[in-house]
Amino acid sequence: MKNLNGINKSNQIIVEGAEGATYDGLEVVWDCAGTANYDEIHAELTAQYDKDFADKWTPVMPSAKFCLRKGVDSLSRKIYNVDCIKKGVWAISIRQVSTANTVGVEYNPQVRVHVEKVKCPTTGNMIEAEAPTFSDDNHDLVPVILAKFNEVRQVVPSENIRTRVKEFFKRECDSITKRRAGGVEYIHKTNCEKFGRYANIIGSLTDTDFTVSEVFHGPNSLAGLMKHVTRDVMSLVDKSEEDRDNGVGKRAMGNRATELGQAEKRLERWATTLGVAFEGLADALSSTRQECVMAMYAAGK
């Protein structure tokens, strides 16, 4: 089988709804490599779900600075003269060979280009602009550079795909990571339909393979799942306490508090779906989250 990019797919996933399923959950082994097209994934997710879902779960584009650097690097040095003024700032002009003087090479007027930081209208924080800024918007090279920039921007790197898929597993499917390095997830049967729809789209438009096997709950399998949950929860608690002790900033502590709150809710759902009790973990999450909130306010601006 081949996906829409012509990539051979040996492990294409089709998972129907959980109704009537005899298994208790799925073990998903997955990995991704290569790149993908942002617009194709966004369009398909919009068609299958809606725009809000697509905006949230399409693997993010590379940063504007990354795209500009890659775009500038792709300019032919036989045609263009490219000077790096300082990190992230380039001066570019058309290179012309002339026989009218002894130097032999003439340069047209340069245009400088970089990516500015702008204030986010929602949070007020300084963030990276979505497009480059030019010293002269009417310069002949502006369309050339923008075309290179936009060409790179459409290509989503594999790391961005991996990050977004892993986040979807956690937040939408309440998955349990079964391998510390990632790549093996457990999904309860109540979330198999969510996983199947999303995995089919990502699998068909990226070089991402998902291999699933049915899981049936027994004493040993439940004990194993509880062990993985405990490991992940305590790892989050330890990292949060370390950040608090190191006096990290207000924003970082706020993010930790949010992560701990999400983990609390996942823990409640895991206890319900698995029919087990995670003694002590809920208290550890709650107390650490409260400490992070207190540290966040103590950090001030």
Residue 286 main-chain phi, psi, to 5 deg: -65, -45
What is the predicted pLDDT for the residue at 89? Answer: 94
Predicted local distance difference test score (pLDDT) of residue 291: 87
Cα gap 70→142, rounded to integer Å: 16
- Residues of the chain by 3-state class (helix, strand, coil), percent to 5: 50, 20, 30
The pLDDT of residue 15: 55
pLDDT tens digits along 110-163: 899 999 988 888 777 788 888 999 999 999 999 999 999 999 988 998 999 999
**CB atoms near residue 189 (< 10 Å):** 20
Which residues lie below 8 Å from residue 83, measured CB to CB, with a gap of 6+?
90, 91, 92, 110
The β-bridge partners of 60 are none
pLDDT at 137: 93
Decide: 66 and 78 in contact? Cβ < 8 Å. no
63 vs 84: CA distance, rounded Å:
19
pLDDT, residue 138, reads 93
Token couple for 31: 């990995």
Neighbours of 184 (CB within 10 A): 18
- Tell me how far apart the alpha carbons of residues 215 and 217 are, in angstroms, rounded to a whole number: 6
Task: Give residue 149's pLDDT.
Answer: 94
Task: Please choose, from the candidates 228, 246, 241, the residue with its C-alpha nearest in 3D space to the C-alpha of residue 285.
Answer: 241
CB 170 within 8 A of CB 195: no
For residue 142, the model assigns a pLDDT of: 94
Question: Which residue segments constitute the domains of the chain, with CATH numbers given?
Answer: 25-60+157-299 (no CATH), 65-153 (3.30.310)
For 233, the token pair is 């929860």
**Alpha-carbon distance 16 to 204, whole Å?**
17
Measured distance CA(259)–CA(278) in Å, rounded: 18
Q: What is the pLDDT of residue 71?
A: 94
Supply φ then ψ for residue 293, to 5 degrees.
-65, -45
Listed in sequence order, the residues at least 6 apart from 286 whose beta carbon sits closer than 8 Å to its beta carbon are: 264
Query: CA nearest 216: which of 235, 195, 189?
Result: 189
List of the chain residues with pLDDT < 70 = 1-21, 97-107, 180-182, 299-301
Q: Which residue has tokens 């895991």?
A: 270
Residue 102 Cα to chain centre, angstroms: 53
pLDDT at 135: 93
CB 188 within 8 A of CB 21: no
pLDDT tens by residue, 174-206: 999 988 666 899 999 899 899 999 999 999 999
Neighbours of 107 (CB within 10 A): 13
Interatomic CA distance for residues 200 and 108, integer angstroms: 51
